[in-house]
Structure 1
Amino acid sequence: MTAIATGTPSNPPNEVPTESPTFVHQLRGRWLEHWEPDNPTFWAAGGDKTARKNLIFSVFAENLGFAVWVLWGTVVTSMGAAGFGFLAGLGKGDPTAVSNALLLSSTPTLVGAALRIPYTFAIPKFGGRAFTTFSAALLLIPTLGLAYFINQPGTPMWVFMILAALAGVGGGNFSSSMANINFFFPDGKKGAALGINAAGGNLGVAQTQLVLPLLITLGTHLTAKDAAGYRFGLTLAILVWVPFILVAAFGALRYMDSVSNAKSDGRSYKLALTNVHTWVMAVLYIGTFGSFIGFSFAFPTLIKANFPELTKIGWITTLGNLAFLGALVGSVSRPFGGWVSDKVGGAKITLYVFGGMAVSVALIMAGLELKSFPLYLIAFLLLFVLAGIGNGSTYRMIPTIFTAETKKYAAEHGLSQSESAASARRQAGAAIGVIGAVGAAGGWLLQQALRLSNINYHSMAPAFWAYAVAFLLMGAATWWFYLRSSFAIGRSPSLAYANV
């Protein structure tokens, strides 16, 4: 049975204000001592404007986090031409070069996944404003470091492994941003708000995979189409993010707010971590976000290794072999997943998503078998669209689950709805960090499965078919836990997950 953690920094346990104080929206950032988004009067008095303001700056900072996080997915495809021998055979499908590329591109995924838990805990500790400023500024380290060493052609691979690991800080930004925005919006608007916040960050993957090849091509044309020219192009493509990072850090410091009642009472995290639904949702998120981020990082390498003849088509090469389209459609579809889940329930959408993803994998394998790049690309885009929708639907389920459980507990123990809502937000915020971390780690596992399949079987087919089976199992788990009419919150038959 889920308990409710009561008490906030501004309100001791069991002392809930009977009236909402007058709220005044302001542009400059501050600590919000009272925040009650579920109160319609409070929301209409300016709470909505404040929430949207924070969402805008959160999206901008998170977008750059993703951009830095995914840099390596594209950088590795040009490092061979830039004079780094350990990636020289990538365009010819050399197994060692492909393995090295997947290893470098997956390292930020793993580090970013590990950072997501402490990044979530940082929001209650330091406040959304301060930590968003810090996490944005931190992006300068992997960016400037890579810009320096990419111009040292004798640099060994282990140095780049360290730099790739440092880029993982961009992946941690997702959980801190999502946990922070979760506190700003009422329950009825969380799905859309979290979907927009996540999509804005996810778009950082698409824009990076589009902009980097264009800038690399520009750099080679401005100099020469040799190793030095590629290094200049790579440097240009990396340093372009620095001014935006500085703007994001300044904007967060000056304009974002921190919510006082977002501070943890110490009990919310324990309740979330010991709740079975946190871990069920973490597994489901491996299937949606793990697929999105794992394939986003690997997609440029997969295209270059499986269809090397595309290098003969200049405009496709300049556009990164169209790899950016996957992250783009996956990002754009995410808010739709949150929006439609607000209407019909996240669990239903998630179930359909997993079934569609299994079909998409079969189509991808057909494209490889037929050596058809159009079919391969279309099938992958379908997979990305479904993963994006699933990202939105699974994240919509999280606050719904914790709200339902805490309301039940409050009704059984005579506690107020205000206490229930505050506890649900704190527990959902803690759960988001864990779920986001596990989901991102799933992206690393996905890339490692591709790498090991390529090494041991000289084919990625075994890994892809394993994904299809996993998607079907996750769909079954969604039905078992959240759509069976006999299943109920807290193991009590009186309250089913009808609207999760």
Structure 2
Amino acid sequence: MTTTPSKSRSSSWLPSWAPNDPAFWEAGGKARAWRTLAVTTFALTLAFATWFMVSAIVVRLNGIGFNLSKSQLFWLTAMPGLAAGLLRLVHMFLIPMYGSRHTLTLATLSLLIPAVGWGVAVQNPQTPFWVLMLLAFAAGLGGGNFSSFMPSTNLFFPKHMQGTALGIQAGIGNFGVSLTQFLTPWVVGVNLFWFVPGGYQAWTWANKTQDIWLQNASWVYIPWLLLAALLTWLLIRSVPVKANFGQQFAIFRDKHTWVMTSIYMMTFGAFSGLAAAFPLLIKELYGGFENPPLPLKFAFYGPLIGSAVRVLFGMVADRTGGAVLTTISALGMGLGAVAVTFFVTPTSLDSFPFFVAAMLAIFLFSGIGNASTFRQMPIIFNPPQSAGVIGWTAAIAAFGPFIVSMLISANLAASGNVKAFFFGLAVFCALNLALNWYFYGRRGAEKPS
């Protein structure tokens, strides 16, 4: 991959780009890079909100007349993760081939498919399950976009600022997860789209019934997606990079690609997976008691904390290095996972605050790791490889919602609780703690980062 300009390329492509040249950076590169980051971060936040809106919708489906089993509900929360992982494998090749302007604009417009579709589907309780599954898969378009946004940002900033830039974009983008879980209970209570055919649904929860407009949970993003696509087309240009498939596939011959894939699966895989499953997990574990907690009232705190920490620690990682923070992340996540196991077989609501606190601890430390790993990758790999590795690791970690939802569903079916899942997460954290220490964190490590 090079930044050599191509004379045959259109005005969508910058004539040259040299962010590591101080004179170029100060003369105008810095302003363009930060403007690009602002626009693409706005679009990425909407992408994450669209990706995770299914997790906020499914907890209300049976309450408005659908008749879905526990397994079917977890399948719906899992499908966006499956789609995101598969689509990220495609997205990781698009920026060098088609450029940031075309790729990111079209990727943003594609999110109108699930945004419109879910709003229509939830208004009819007779909507077939296979249609809901297709729409859940389509929501994964939002997760797939990440592997175009992040490699694009990686190209716009000098190496010493990539931890900060990627931390800001990924962290604020991750706010889309908490945004959709926080916003949904508010927007569904108001007839926002009174001018569109369709009506309210009678939602029953804890023996109480109220009128809601569940279609708002997805339709609310439509105008913002259109605005984001317009801004992306008008304000973004593409860095003149060239890369063939051979160059991009070279990353798979490097063992560090696989080590970082495992580590990022621990951090972002767990973050995204638990963010998707958290509302339904609250409903399944604590929804049977009198006056049960509303899942979305608490679930949004997890991704909110993880996202905020990712923004902050992206800047910290540029100063301290990533390996030490990844160590802290793995330790904290592992201990948090063990702590959760004490509160997943409740006999009353008294243990609910402790369950939430232990879950939030996992989100907090995953946020630290999400920031530190994105600092490590540009250091471990050279510039042509680092963008590809970021795209690849992000693609695999995007399977988190699918893997976590399926494992939790299987655990509930087999034993009625999720202790085995959280013990397994703790073991996985211990494994990655060892990998990070050996290759990147110890004195004399092969790739100190």
TM-score normalised to the size of structure 1?
A: 0.82
Q: Secondary structure at the match of 1:226?
A: strand
From 286, 307, 324, give the equivalent of 2:300. Answer: 324
Q: Distance in 1 between matches of 2:174 and 2:439?
A: 28
- Match of 2:222? 242
For 1:305, the equivalent position in structure 2 comes to 284
Question: In the alignment, which residue of structure 1 is the partner of 2:352?
Answer: 373
Single out whichever of 45-54 and 371-380 deviates more from structure 2.
371-380
Percent identity of paired positions between Structure 1 and Structure 2:
35
**169, 172, 176: which is aligned to 2:148?**
176
User: Residue 52 of structure 1 aligns to a residue in which SS?
Assistant: helix
1:8 corresponds to which of 4, 13, 17: 4
Distance (whole Å) between structure 2 residues aligned to residue 309 and residue 454 of structure 1: 15
Aligned ranges for residues 204-219 of structure 1 at < 5 Å? 204-218=176-190
Matches within 5 A, 1:449-464: 449-464=407-422
Structure 2 counterpart of 1:411 = none
Q: Indicate whether 1:69 and 2:51 are aligned.
A: yes
- Shift, 1:344, TM fit: 1.4
Query: Which secondary structure state, in structure 2, belongs to the residue aligned with residue 299 of structure 1?
Result: helix
Return the alpha-carbon distance in structure 1 between the equivalents of residues 289 and 105 of structure 2: 41
Q: Report the AA paired with residue 125 of structure 1.
A: M
Q: Which amino acid is the alignment partner of residue 8 of structure 1?
A: T
Aligned length: 434
Is the Cα–Cα contact under 8 Å of residues 268 and 430 in structure 1 kept in the other structure? no
Runs of 4+ in 1 over 4 A off after TM superposition: 222-225, 227-232
Structure 1 position 270, deviation (Å): 2.4
The answer to whether the 8 A contact 2:80-2:137 is kept is yes
Which of 442, 451, 474 is equivalent to 2:432?
A: 474
Q: 1:310 to 1:179 in 2, by over 3 A?
A: farther
Q: Do the aligned residues in 2 keep the contact of 1:8 with 1:264 (CA within 8 Å)?
A: no
> How far apart are the structure 1 equivalents of 2:203 and 2:345?
34
In the TM superposition, residue 102 of structure 1 has moved relative to its aligned partner by 1.2
Pick one of 224, 239, 245 that aligns with 1:259.
239
* CA 1:68–1:311: 2 relative to 1, 3 Å: farther
Q: Offset at 1:253?
A: 0.3
Tell me if the contact between 1:367 and 1:373 (Cα under 8 Å) persists in the aligned partners.
Answer: yes
Q: In the alignment, residue 385 of structure 1 is paired with which amino acid?
A: L
* 1:313-355: CA deviation from partner (whole Å, max 9, x where unpaired): 7xx63x8231111110011110222222111111111011111
| Structure 2, gaps ≥5 residues long | none
* In structure 1, C-alpha distance between the alignment counterparts of 2:288 and 2:102, rounded to whole Å: 49
CA-to-aligned-CA distance 1:159-198 (integer Å, 9 cap, x gap): 1001101111100111100010000011111001000110
Matches within 5 A, 1:177-196: 177-196=149-168
Alignment of 1:25-104 (within 5 A): 30-86=12-68, 97-104=69-76
Deviation readout 1:101-132 (Å, 9 max, x if unpaired): 11100100011011112112111111101111
* Other-structure match for 2:123: 151
C-alpha deviation, 1:309, in angstroms: 5.8
Does the 8 A contact of 1:150 with 1:231 survive in 2?
no
Q: Is residue 101–residue 237 contact of structure 2 (8 Å, CA) maintained in 1?
A: yes
* Counterparts of 1:426 and 1:311, CA distance in 2: 57
Q: Which amino acid aligns with 2:114?
A: P
1:353 corresponds, among 329, 352, 358, to 329
Measured in 2, the distance between the counterparts of 1:179 and 1:6 equals 14
Tell me the residue number matched to 1:125: 97
- Matches of 2:287 and 2:391, distance apart in 1: 39
Q: How much does 1:266 deviate? A: 4.2
Q: Is the 8 A contact 1:216 1:230 kept in 2?
A: no
DSSP 3-state at the match of 1:116: helix
Give 1:425's aligned residue: 383
* CA shift for structure 1 position 134: 0.2
1:230 CA displacement? 7.4
Partner of 1:388: 367
1:353-407 deviation line (CA, Å, top 9, x unaligned)? 11111111122122335651111111111110111110011111111111xxxxx
CA distance 1:311–1:247, change in 2 (3 Å): farther
3-state DSSP of counterpart to 2:213: helix
Larger radius of gyration: 1
Question: How many angstroms apart in 1 are the aligned matches of 2:304 and 2:339?
Answer: 20
Distance 1:458 1:10 in 2: 60
Matches within 5 A, 1:19-30: 30=12
Structure 1, 180-189 or 455-464: larger mean CA deviation:
455-464
Q: Give the Cα–Cα distance (whole angstroms) in 1 for the partners of residues 255 and 78 of structure 2.
A: 29
Taking structure 1 as reference, are residues 225 and 479 closer, same or farther at Cα in structure 2, changes over 3 Å only? same
Cα drift, residue 312 of structure 1 = 2.6
Call closer, same or farther: CA 1:124–1:310 in 2, change over 3 Å. Answer: farther
Gaps of 5+ in 1: 12-28, 87-96, 403-423, 489-496
- Give the superposition deviation at 1:268: 2.8
Pairwise CA distance, 1:484 = 3.2
Provide the rounded CA distance (Å) in 1 between the counterparts of 2:259 and 2:183: 37
**Which residue type is aligned with residue 169 of structure 1?**
L
Quick check: 1:8–1:265 contact (8 Å CA) kept in 2? no
1:72/1:105 contact within 8 Å kept: yes
1:251 corresponds to which letter in structure 2? Answer: L
Give the deviation of 1:75 after TM superposition: 0.5
After superposition, the Cα gap between the structure-2 partners of 1:427 and 1:230, relative to the gap in structure 1 and judged at 3 Å, is farther
Q: Secondary structure at the match of 1:31?
A: coil
Q: TM-score, normalized by length of structure 2?
A: 0.92
